[in-house]
Structures are given as C-alpha cells and as structure tokens.
Chain A
Amino acid sequence: MCNITKETAFGAISTVIDPEVGFNLVEMGLIYDAIVDEACNVQVIMTLSTQGCPLHQMIKQWVVEAVEKLEGVGTVEVEVVWEPAWNISMADENVKKALGGM
C-alpha cells in the first residue's frame, strides 16, 4: 500500500528553493502536478519561470532528490513543460505580495 500522495510529494518539493527569487517551487506555482501510481512511483509535472533558465537541469535534479527522500517512494521522474506557460497569477499570495506584482 503506497502512502505517498500528491500533497506529500508537494510537501517534499516545497523544500526546494529558487536561489534567485528566494521562494520555494511550490509557492512559486511552478509545480503543476505530482502523479503517484500504486507502486509509489512519482511523476512530477512542472515548469520554470523562464525557458532560458540556466538552472533548468539542476532544479529538476533537486526536485528528484527532494521526492526521493519520502519513505517508500519508487522511481521519481520530472517532466518540465511549457504549456501552460507560468505567470505570476499561479504563485501563492505571499509570493505575489513580496514580488510586488499584484
């Protein structure tokens, strides 16, 4: 029985912080989904704030490592997508307020 849920996966990913803006990826709204199958394999669907992000590969790796820390997790895969494109309305209120965008 797998006890990992989308929420626990999001919780693990929320330890990953974007060093440029200082917020975690979940509150930035960059994590679109976390699909957990019966064998506890996790597929994270995420985006980045810019396609030219020089930390692209590294952020993917940090997400994998964060989810792999969950007990009982199987394989972890991260897919970076560009549709829908990220925008500030996807971020949490505290991020919007801190960035001053909305």
Chain B
Amino acid sequence: MTPISQDFAPPLKLIAPFFHFGVIFYLLSMLALLFFEPVFSYQQMDVAGWIHLFLLGFVMTIIFGAMAQLIPVVLEVGHVVVDVYYVILPLLVFGTVVMVFGFWLMPALLPYGGLFVLIAMIIFAFENIATLKKTELKTLTVDTVAWSNGYLLLGILTGFSIALGLSGDLGINVALMLKAHVYAVLGGYVVLTIMGLSLTLIPMFSLAHGFDELAVKRAFKFVIVSVAVVFVGAVLGFEWLMLIGYALSFIGILFYIYQIYIIAKLTVRKEMDVWAKSIIFAFVALFLSILLSGLYFFTELPTMLHASVWFLLLGFVSFFIIGHLYKIVPFLVWFERFAPLVGKEKVPMLHEMYSKEGANMMFWFTLAGVLLGGVALLFESDMLFKAGGSFLFTGAIFLYITMKKMLAYGE
C-alpha cells in the first residue's frame, strides 16, 4: 500500500504565509507594471527589478510554499526539517525587497539582498535534497525534483555573482552570466518544477486516469539536457551551443504540451471552474509563447521575444500558479479547520470556500490584461500596455481579496 503522504503534511500556519506574501508580491508587481513602457531591454535595471519582484516575490515564494506541502506527496516521505520553512520565508521576502530596491534605486544593495535570497534558497534546496535521500521511490518525478534543485543552486550562485558584478565587487561578464542565470532558474527550476507538478496535480484535479507518460518523460529529459547545454554555452560564451540548447528546450516543451493534451483528452471532470479555465488559458499562453519565440528566431525582432516572455511569465506561469491556488488553499484551510469536524457537524465543500464571482473577476480581468499587454509589446503601444497593466492590477486586487477570504475561512 502507498505510504501516507499527508501524515507528513506541514501545518497551515507554516504554509499560509508563503501564499499570503506571494499574492502581495503579485499585486505589487502588477501595480509596478503601470510605470513601465512597452519598449525596453532585459538588461535595464528597472526591468531586472520588476522581473525579480515578480519571479522571486510571487513565483518562487508560492512555489516554495507549495513544495513544502507537495514534496511529501510526491516523495511519500516527510520533510527532514520542515521547520526550516519558518526561516526561509522571512529571508526570501526581505532579500527580495532589498534586491528590488537595489535594482531600482541603489545597485550597491544588490549583493546584500542577493545574500539573503541565496541563503534562503540554499536552505530550501538542501532541505529538499536531504528529504529526497530519504525516499525509496525511483520515479522520474523524483529525479526531476533532484535536477530542478540542482539547477536552482546553479541559478542562485550565478545570480549572486551577477549581483557582485553589478555592484562592482566582481569582474565578470554580466551579459553571459545573465543568460546562464536566467536559464538555470527559469528553465531549470521554474519550468521543470511546473512540469513535475503538472503531472501530479492536473490528473488529480481533473480525475484523468490511465494515461501514458512517455511524452512527459521525454519532455523532462529534453529540458534537463537543454538547460545544461545552454548553461555551459552561456558560461563559455559558445553561441552555437546555446542554440542547440534552445532547440532541445523547444522539443522538450512540445513533448510536455503533447502530454497535457493526452491528459486533457482523458479528463473526466468537465466543470469549468476557475482552476480549469486558468489551466486552459495557461496552456494557450504557453503555445503563444512558443510560437512567438519561433518567430523571433527567424525574424530577430525583439518585440517577438518580449511578447514571448510576457506570455510565458504572465500567461503560463501566472495562470498555472493562480489557478492552483484556488484548489490548494481551500484544501489546506479545510484540512486544518474542518477535517476534524467531519462526521460531527456539517462541513463545507472545497468549492464553497471561495467567492466564485471574485474568482471569475480575477480570471477575466487578468486574461484581458495578459492579452492586451502581449499585443502592446508586439506593437510597442504604450496606451495598450497601460490598459493591459490596469486590467492586470484589477485582477490582482480580486486575487488578493479572494485569497485573503479563503485563508480566513472558518477562523
């Protein structure tokens, strides 16, 4: 019989703050978008600041909280030291704030913020690796968790060296190191982790069963190899090697999309709740992102690359995470506050624990914002970009309100 993963589930008071701060950072990053223009370079400090606000503050904070809960589910063993998550969150939040201010106002602050983030991520990665060593499972998902944590360590070390480089403390080629850093963190950690989570969470919530996993196994292998190839190419300055890596990533992501298509065909649950709508749009956005990156490859128009990254981050990553928040947070709250009451008194269903209207407003405003923003970047239209930003910020307000109510439900 399968071991009991929930015996190792960390308490709500440990995980909830990750979601709370993650959503606040999302709200702040959508607000900050209103002060940007659709014409920019990724090497601009203010753009780097926004990307760190979004990726560290929102994406990483939520993923870390989710992994505190999901690592025992995936590995079927408890955390080695689950209490480290009490330390990880303040380090990550403080480090992110200092880094963002460093990028926006005072580059000399960057190594200090980076050091806090570095410590938080090293603790996270090593705790995960120690927990991995406890599991007897030998699945591809387990291997993927190991690879993604390895890439996270590489990503943060390169990131920290960039922080030292930007503050003038270390003589490195920041442009080359930046590519290695972006690929290790975004491709090696964020994308691999989301792929791994997809394989556990999407069939679980859609009640899809009996599907072949060959496509996702190939996807994992291609992405794992591609990140290593791009990383080495970037560090050594071999553009041709990086191109090979990009091509391998492209193939890997196509295999991943094909796997999701296989799962979608077997989906039993056809109910269009906020989770289902968000996941569908996330994959539409991923497809758009791939399409635009392909067009960038042939045209070399930076607007294509900007729109591709936009759809990847705000379309795919955001919607994947936000959609799952409406499943995971009610479950965590229910598990803590209502599960002990089952059989004794009436308890709510999970879908009753959030406002459908609020969630729908979040979904439609955010969707409109992502589409408008993407088009604005393609055509470099400031007016459309501001409109997209306004929709995204409004959607973020609905996300914040619904999330706050979910976390407070039954208190």
Q: Which residues of A contact B (CB under 8 A)?
A: 15-17, 19-22, 49-58, 62, 65-66, 79-82, 85-88, 99-101
Given contacts A54-B331, A62-B342, A99-B268, contact A49 B207 (CB under 8 A): yes
Per the bound structure, the CA–CA distance linking A55 and B338 in Å amounts to 12
Per the bound structure, the CA–CA distance linking A88 and B205 in Å amounts to 13
Cβ-defined contact, B334 with A52, below 8 A: no
Q: Which residues of B contact A (CB under 8 A)?
A: 1-2, 4-7, 9, 69, 73-74, 200, 203-205, 207, 209-210, 267-271, 331, 334-335, 338-339, 342-343, 347-351
Cβ-defined contact, B203 with A50, below 8 A: yes
On chain B, the residues within 8 Å of A88 by CB distance are 207, 209, 268
**B271 CB contact (under 8 Å) in A15, A85, A100:** A100
Cβ-defined contact, B335 with A65, below 8 A: no
Most B CB atoms within 10 A — which of A19, A53, A99, A101?
A19
On chain A, the residues within 8 Å of B203 by CB distance are 50
On chain A, the residues within 8 Å of B335 by CB distance are 54-55, 58
On chain B, the residues within 8 Å of A81 by CB distance are 1
Given contacts A57-B4, A86-B209, A87-B209, contact A52 B350 (CB under 8 A): no
- A sample of 29 cross-chain residue pairs with beta-carbon separation below 8 angstroms, ordered by A number, consists of A15-B343, A16-B343, A17-B349, A19-B334, A19-B338, A19-B347, A21-B269, A22-B351, A51-B2, A52-B204, A53-B204, A54-B73, A54-B331, A55-B335, A55-B339, A57-B6, A58-B335, A58-B342, A62-B343, A80-B1, A80-B2, A86-B209, A88-B209, A99-B207, A99-B269, A99-B271, A100-B269, A100-B270, A100-B271
On chain B, the residues within 8 Å of A79 by CB distance are 1
Cβ-defined contact, A52 with B200, below 8 A: yes
**A101 CB contact (under 8 Å) in B200, B207, B338, B343:** B207
CB distance from B37 to the nearest CB of A (A): 44
Cβ-defined contact, A58 with B334, below 8 A: no
Per the bound structure, the CA–CA distance linking A86 and B338 in Å amounts to 26
Q: Using CB atoms, name the residue of chain B closest to A89.
A: B268
On chain A, the residues within 8 Å of B74 by CB distance are 52
Per the bound structure, the CA–CA distance linking A94 and B58 in Å amounts to 40
Per the bound structure, the CA–CA distance linking A11 and B289 in Å amounts to 51
Cβ-defined contact, B2 with A19, below 8 A: no
Cβ-defined contact, A50 with B6, below 8 A: no
Give the number of A-B contacts (CB < 8 Å): 82
On chain B, the residues within 8 Å of A19 by CB distance are 334, 338, 347-350
CB distance from B5 to the nearest CB of A (A): 6
Per the bound structure, the CA–CA distance linking A99 and B73 in Å amounts to 25
Per the bound structure, the CA–CA distance linking A73 and B339 in Å amounts to 24
Cβ-defined contact, A66 with B200, below 8 A: no
CB distance from B338 to the nearest CB of A (A): 8
CB distance from A89 to the nearest CB of B (A): 10
Cβ-defined contact, B331 with A20, below 8 A: yes
CB distance from A40 to the nearest CB of B (A): 21
Given contacts A86-B209, A99-B207, contact A58 B6 (CB under 8 A): yes
Per the bound structure, the CA–CA distance linking A80 and B205 in Å amounts to 20
**A55 CB contact (under 8 Å) in B1, B6, B200, B347:** B6
Cβ-defined contact, B6 with A101, below 8 A: no
CB distance from A58 to the nearest CB of B (A): 6
CB distance from A77 to the nearest CB of B (A): 12
Cβ-defined contact, B5 with A56, below 8 A: yes
Per the bound structure, the CA–CA distance linking A92 and B4 in Å amounts to 28
Per the bound structure, the CA–CA distance linking A54 and B334 in Å amounts to 12
19 new A-B pairs (CB below 8 Å) besides A20-B205, A52-B204, A99-B271? A15-B343, A19-B347, A19-B348, A19-B350, A21-B207, A51-B2, A57-B4, A57-B6, A58-B335, A62-B343, A81-B1, A85-B209, A85-B210, A87-B268, A99-B207, A99-B268, A101-B267, A101-B269, A101-B270
On chain A, the residues within 8 Å of B267 by CB distance are 101
Per the bound structure, the CA–CA distance linking A51 and B1 in Å amounts to 10
